[in-house]
C-alpha cells in the first residue's frame, strides 16, 4: 500500500503542477512567451512537491491545433526514480511516466 501511496502522491503533485503551470501560462501573449513562463515556473516554484524534481519534468505550452484561441499545457514526469519500483517487485506496477 505504501508503494502505491508514493506513486499516487507523485501523480497528484504532477496534476497540481500542470494546473499551476496552465494558470501561469495565461499571462503569456504568444506561444513563445507562454513556454518561457511555464519553464520558469517549473524551474523555480515546484520545490514544495514531494517526490517530484524539476529535472524529471517535461513541460510544453503550445497553441491548440483544434482552436487557435486556446493553448495546451502538458506536463509529464519520469517516475523511474521513485522508491515504488524497489518495494514490491512482484506486484503489478503502474507506468514509469506520469
How far is CA 42 from each of CA 9, 20, 74, rounded to the nearest angstrom? 18, 10, 12
In-domain check, residue 89:
no
pTM of the shown model? 0.87
Residue bearing the bigger pLDDT, 93 or 88: 93
In-domain check, residue 86:
no
Query: Nine-digit cell at 17?
Result: 503542477
In-domain check, residue 6:
yes
Distance CA 88, CA 2 (A): 10
In-domain check, residue 55:
yes
Tens of pLDDT, residue by residue over 71-87, are 999 999 999 998 888 87
In-domain check, residue 56:
yes
Residue 88 has pLDDT above 80, yes or no: no
The reported pLDDT for the residue numbered 6 is: 86
In-domain check, residue 90:
no
Tens of pLDDT, residue by residue over 9-52, are 999 999 999 999 999 999 999 999 999 999 999 998 888 888 89
Residue 65 has pLDDT above 80, yes or no: yes
In-domain check, residue 25:
yes
Range of the structural domain that residue 12 is part of: 2-79
Amino acid at each position: 500500500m505504501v508503494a502505491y501511496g508514493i506513486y499516487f502522491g507523485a501523480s497528484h503533485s504532477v496534476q497540481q503542477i500542470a494546473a499551476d503551470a496552465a494558470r501561469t501560462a495565461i499571462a503569456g501573449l504568444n506561444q513563445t512567451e507562454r513556454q518561457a513562463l511555464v519553464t520558469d515556473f517549473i524551474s523555480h516554484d515546484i520545490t514544495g512537491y514531494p517526490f517530484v524534481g524539476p529535472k524529471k519534468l517535461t513541460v510544453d505550452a503550445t497553441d491548440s491545433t483544434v482552436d487557435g484561441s486556446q493553448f495546451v499545457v502538458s506536463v509529464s514526469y519520469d517516475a523511474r526514480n521513485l522508491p515504488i519500483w524497489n518495494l514490491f517487485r512482484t506486484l503489478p506496477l503502474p507506468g514509469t511516466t506520469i
